[in-house]
Each structure stands twice: as C-alpha cells, then as structure tokens.
Structure 1
C-alpha cells in the first residue's frame, strides 16, 4: 500500500507545480493597506474549489470578524470513525523588498531543484500537501476509515484572530479527535519531525523623553540628556555579555530535551557571518526553544542620511519577547515593563505601551494518533521522526486545545530552514511536499491511530 500511494504522489508532481504556481500568483496578503482584500478572497475561492473536487461537497466560505474568509468543509467517513481536522492557511507575508528577490515573489520559479515564491512553503505548500495526499488516496479502492474536516484560514500571518473568533462562536463545526496543523516542518530536507513546542509572544513599545525639543549638539551636547542615548542604555541592560536575554524576574536557564540543533547547521541556516558568535549560553535548542528571547523590531530615531547635529529629545523602540512553554507571556510582559522602568537613567521619562500576548503551546506526544503519525513518517521518509520546537507562535493551537481538550494536535508540514519563510526568496523543496503528502496519506489510510470518535 505504501508503494501504491508513493507512486500516486509522484505521478502528481506536474499538477502540484501547476496548482502551486496558480496559488502563489495570488498576492493574498491580509493587509488592505498593502494589497486589496479581494486577493485573499480569490485565494479562498481557489482553495474551496480544489477541496470540493476531492469529496468535500459542502466546502464553503465563512466570513470571519477580521473580514477574511475561512474555507470549511467535511468529508464523511464510516459510522464510528475518528474525525481528523486538516488545517492550513492561504494568506502570506508581504514580499518586503521586492528588489531583494532573485525572481518575482508572486511567480513560482524553479532554481536548483527548489521552487521559489512568496507562500511557496508558508503555507501554500502545505495546502498542496493536503491536496496531494487526498488525490493519492483517491486512487485506492474503498472509502477512508476516517471522517475528515477542513479549515483553511486567511489571516494567520496578520494575527488578527478572525478564525479564533469564529471557532469560539461555532465550536462544534471543527470538533475533531485529531488536528493536523500543517504550518510547521522538518529539521532539514528529508528529516521528518513533529513540532511539539511553540513559544508564546508579547510585544511592547518603550518611549523615552528627556527634552522639550531638539538642541544644537555643539551648544548643549555633553550636559543635555540625550533621549536616544538613554534608550540605548536601557536596551543594553536586557542582554548580558554573552548575549543571553536577562530580564529581571524571568528564568533564563531552560533546557531543550528534544532533537538537538547542531551549531554549525544553525549557523548555515541562519546565515551567520564568519567570525560572528552565536548568542547566549547552552545549546542552540536551549536558546531558541526553551528560553525567553528578546528582539528589537524597530527604533524611532533620525536616520543616518540627513541627520542633523542635534541632541535628541525623544526616542522609542518596539520590542518582541518570545517565551517558552511554562512561562506566562502576560507575566513576562509585566517583568519586561518593570525592568525597563527601573533601568531608565538620569530621571528620563520612560513610558511603556503594551501590546497583545499569545500563549505558548506544548503538544502531548503519548496518544495513539501521535504514535501512528510517527509510523507514517518513518514509512514515508525511511527514517524515524524527531521532535522539534518552533520559535514562533501559532495562537490557534491554544484555541484548539481549549475547545477540544481531548483532541491530539500534531504540528507538521513542508517548512524547513532553507525555506526562508517570511524573508525574500522564500522557497520549498518539492520532495518535501511529496513526502508530507505521503505521510498524511498513510496516516489517514491507516485510520489515524484507530481512535474512537470523540463525544
């Protein structure tokens, strides 16, 4: 059976390319200030129609509170069969600097065996993995031993929470025994993995004021308190000499017990320049999956080009704080705000504007579906599945866990470090789409671990 499914997946390669090219060509950025929302609606219709061809006869669009459309559908299984929910999202990050792309971001382009384009991996490649798995299963005789549900949302990248709001109002529509969140991926091409840990995130803006207005640096510099220097001083207290994030009241000694992340591989994946050291103490896995990590996302200050000879009266920075499972992001936000306020020098006026928080997530790994997925990955990849963390956050996972506490949530997908998701020259390895599709097909054909239907 494995060979029949693999042959069906391989035979679908040309269609996968064509479908992914069509989907990448739709600039479905869920930010109306950058792209018309109609582009997201067009992508949603494409997804609805594609799944309707595969037995989701009721595939439909539902409008969510942020104005985007989610694609929902069901494909009935035999009585008493377990229910498996397939998840992905069709919205994408903006292309950023289009001149930094080697090929146009919304034109799928093949180079050196990889397919390039915005959303090729995150997350339109995962949509194609779902479709390819279902097309392969269609070549077999008989019905699937599972009941399928589908949700493909359109606002994951913007974090505006449209699908989360819809789920809270209509929880029964997506209730399932197993939820396959296909918005993650592997340690490397050909190395299968399930993501079991997601960091939570919070952000805030810190503002510093010291003067009523700009002052001539020659006449007043040296005694007049410079707000930009004050901000730099405050920010410098948030990392120690080794680059370890050190926020008063937050534990920075967590350790990662899953698959290790080789240091040299990380340097290559992160494109660290020669001679530049990695940050923090402990292993790479400790730093990116098990400890708080603070990033300065932006600073308001005069640009270098055209800068005047003045002492700055005000400055601001936007900070993003990622926290691992076990740390409450709201408590972390409070700790960070308190640290910043105490660090303000020279009596500078410091204020903090707090942003939203997203909870971390830790998946259970002891259920029958997880065991079945490990077997399916082993058969698809010819090697054992490993366990990974993900430095980013997927707030929807916590909503799933809250609404469906008995469901097994499995994070997987086509993404791996070479994909450069969210960056210029995002790409996908076509063999990863094929392997993930084969994994999913085997998992569904085998009944998702022979679960019983959730009450």
Structure 2
C-alpha cells in the first residue's frame, strides 16, 4: 500500500482509536497499588478485547510468577517478511495529589489540543498507536506482528524476565518497536538511543534508644534527623555536581549534537524564578550522560506532628540515575559507601537496596532497520528524526536485548516535552497522535519490502 493510501487509512481509524484511548484512560490501572489490582485486570481485558477484534483466535492474557496481566496477540508473517514485536504497557503511575490536577486524572479531558489524564501519554497512547496501525492495515499487516502489552512496567517489570523465558518462542522477533519514550516536539520524531540506569537505596541513621527531651539533653546530644541531613547534603558539591566518587560521566557523546536551550528547558520543567540549574556541561549532557541523585522521601515526623524531642532515628530513600556504560551494582555500592562514611558524630548507619536495578543502556542505531525507520518517520512527521538519549530508565529494554540478541530494538515515542509523564496533568497531543500512527504504519510497510 503506497504511503499516500496508507496515510488515508490511518486518518480513517484515528477517531475510533482516540475513543478507545479514552476508554482505556478511564481505567485506573495502577498495578503498583494493590487496591487497583482489579483495575489492572480490567485494563488488560479491554486491551485483549480491542486486539481480539482484529485477531480473535490469537489473543492471550499471560502472566508469570504472580505478576500483572500482559496481553499478547499475533499476526503470522507473510513469506519472506520479518516479524515485528510491538511493545507498550497498560499500567500507569499513581496520580499523586488529586487536588493538584486540573481535571480528574481518570476522566480524560481535551483542552487546547491535548488529552489530559493519567496514562494518556505513558503509555496508553502507545497501546492505541499499535492498535490503530493494525486497524489501518485492516488486521492484515504486511509483516509478521506480535503485539505485546505489559502490565507492570511502572513497577519495574519484575516478572518480565520470567515471562520472556517462558514464552520465548511466542515473543521472538526480528525487530522490536517499543512505544514508551518521547519525541523532541509534536512535529519532530525521536528515536531514543541511550538511557540512564537506576538504583535506589534506603539509608537509616540511629543515635538514641528512644526520644529524649530536646531542652534537657539538647546540645551534647544530637538527633538522628540532623545527622541524616548532613549525609544527604554531602551527595552534591556547592555547584550541585554529584559528589559520590567513582561514578561515570559520558560528556561529549550523542548529547553534544542536540541543542536544548536553557530557557525552554526551565519552562518545560517549571523551575521557579531564581532557582539555579545544577552541575556543569550542556543540559543534554547533564540529563542524558551524567549521574543524578535525588532524595525521594524521608521518614520523620511531619511539622504538624513534631514535638520538642531529639529523634532517635531517621531514614531516607535515595535515588541514583546512572550514565550509560555504568555498572549498576558497583554504582549502588559506591553510593552506599559514601552515605555510610558521611554520617557524622559516630551515629549508627545502615544502607539497604530499596528496589531492583535498572542497568543503563545504549542502542546501536546503525543498519537497515534504523535507516528504514528514519525515512518512515521523516515521511510521517515532515521533519528528520532526532536521535538522542533520555534521562529516564526503562529496565525492560536491556532485558529484551539480552533475550533476543539478534533483534533490532527501536525505542519510539508518543509523547512530547509537554506530556508530563508521571506528573500532574499528564497529557497527549491530539496533533501528534496520528503522526505517530503513520510513522509506525510506514515503518511496517517499508520493512515488508525486504
């Protein structure tokens, strides 16, 4: 099917795809919250229903080790064509403060050309992109297709390795298209070629057997929260550079080729007037190629619940993003040792892993599949593809690469900088969605040509 006819076929299915996107966004599929386990099951059931309308005999709902439901549907490859695995996930992040949302997060609302709702971009837009492409081909794609919609990506995909092992033959593919990243803008397509890794730890500081009166004993006796704050403050130097010795940084690689103006970046982030950016180098280098540390939470009394006592213990969750090429277990030990040695006053300290490890990853963007993707995406968007890293971590990409070492992995996106993935008022650009569908449809058509 020529691209002109295929574009027309895509345009015809977009209204129905957006209607089903709204149905899916209305389901609060927060697998990380046990209270929403049934909602995640309902989300998987809806995805299976939508896929089943196109491939009624091939749809399965799978799980491994008690994990979340994943939906798999298959379209056999015509002779001489490759098999393409189309990945997305139907689970979503928690909403955060409901009162901070402009409209309820699970009641999709369209304002100023954007659809607002939790999961509207990440990643129910990815799910509907794949389904819309298959609808545009009337359920007969020109290549083999395996649709794989995971249900626990926002929890770190803990059972994905087992799922890939148990269903290796079912999920094997020549090309893997992962619709779980973002584009540089609504009009410019992106291919993600590197991702930072992620490790988290919990540091706990203890100084007393029990709380004591701050007036009677304060002075010679310190408190655990202040000691913890000393250690947390040591994680950065006065310029905001990460101060943990031995961590890797990769300045001057792919980040150097992408301009990210400071004013635009500050606006997108919502940085308050007068607040400095941390670190050194270009913004792209700092976001994509350098380590970053954040304190995610502290267990201590709230201001409202505080009293005049010296706290016997306090703890914090600390997150470390890793530059591509870093060794995640080794980096976690460097962070742990830094915290252990920077707690003052002889306080007792323990550092324990807080969650699993996400290895950093770099993709080889050479070869025919990438060349084909660049052309297909440029034709769909009207602008050349930008290849870049992202600062976030997508642990399952390395898992796919390890499990299917012969497959070419493409990381694409159905979001843009205004999408606010994981944030308040997450949204999808109505203008960009059909471009993403066309790009994927053009890619499959081009891959069928050999």
TM-score, normalised to structure 1, is 0.94
SS of the aligned residue for 1:279 comes to coil
Distance 1:44 1:183, change over 3 A: same
The 8 Å contact of residues 72 and 152 in structure 1, kept in 2 or not, is answered as yes
In the TM superposition, what are the counterparts of 1:17-416 in structure 2 within 5 Å? 17-35=18-36, 37-55=37-55, 57-138=57-138, 144-252=141-249, 254-258=251-255, 259-355=258-354, 356-416=356-416
Distance of 2:66 and 2:119 partners within structure 1: 21
Distance of 1:251 and 1:74 partners within structure 2: 41
Distance of 2:194 and 2:448 partners within structure 1: 21
The 8 Å contact of residues 128 and 433 in structure 1, kept in 2 or not, is answered as no
Distance of 1:273 and 1:294 partners within structure 2: 20
* CA deviation vs aligned residue, 1:392-437 (integer Å, no higher than 9, x gap): 2222111111111111100002112211111121110012211110
- Larger deviation, residues 48-57 vs 385-394: 48-57
Distance of 1:449 and 1:162 partners within structure 2: 36
Distance of 2:347 and 2:33 partners within structure 1: 38
Distance of 1:7 and 1:448 partners within structure 2: 19
The 8 Å contact of residues 371 and 449 in structure 1, kept in 2 or not, is answered as no
Distance of 2:449 and 2:219 partners within structure 1: 70
- Larger deviation, residues 234-243 vs 166-175: 166-175
- Larger deviation, residues 53-62 vs 252-261: 252-261
CA shift, 1:169, in A, is: 2.4
Distance 1:39 1:237, change over 3 A: same
Distance of 2:141 and 2:77 partners within structure 1: 6
- Larger deviation, residues 315-324 vs 64-73: 64-73
CA shift, 1:448, in A, is: 5.8
Distance 1:32 1:291, change over 3 A: closer
* CA deviation vs aligned residue, 1:262-314 (integer Å, no higher than 9, x gap): 22221111110111111111111111110111110001112111321122221
The 8 Å contact of residues 64 and 70 in structure 1, kept in 2 or not, is answered as no
CA shift, 1:344, in A, is: 1.8
Distance 1:80 1:6, change over 3 A: closer
* CA deviation vs aligned residue, 1:10-55 (integer Å, no higher than 9, x gap): 23332122111111111111135332x2211111111112122224
Distance of 2:385 and 2:194 partners within structure 1: 15
The 8 Å contact of residues 250 and 323 in structure 2, kept in 1 or not, is answered as no
TM-score, normalised to structure 2, is 0.95
Gaps of 5+ in 1: 451-455
CA shift, 1:449, in A, is: 7.2
Distance of 1:261 and 1:173 partners within structure 2: 41
SS of the aligned residue for 1:87 comes to strand
Distance of 2:331 and 2:394 partners within structure 1: 18
The 8 Å contact of residues 198 and 393 in structure 2, kept in 1 or not, is answered as yes
Distance 1:363 1:278, change over 3 A: same
* CA deviation vs aligned residue, 1:314-371 (integer Å, no higher than 9, x gap): 1111001110211011000010111111112111111111232111111110021111
CA shift, 1:6, in A, is: 2.2
Distance of 1:317 and 1:257 partners within structure 2: 34
Distance of 1:151 and 1:253 partners within structure 2: 33
SS of the aligned residue for 1:357 comes to coil
Distance 1:293 1:32, change over 3 A: closer
* CA deviation vs aligned residue, 1:217-247 (integer Å, no higher than 9, x gap): 2222221122111111111111011111120
Gaps of 5+ in 2: none
Where does residue 430 of structure 1 map in the other structure?
Answer: 430
CA shift, 1:152, in A, is: 0.4
SS of the aligned residue for 1:45 comes to helix
* CA deviation vs aligned residue, 1:150-182 (integer Å, no higher than 9, x gap): 110111111252232110222221111100011
Distance of 2:120 and 2:406 partners within structure 1: 33
The 8 Å contact of residues 25 and 107 in structure 1, kept in 2 or not, is answered as yes
RMSD of equivalent CA atoms: 1.6
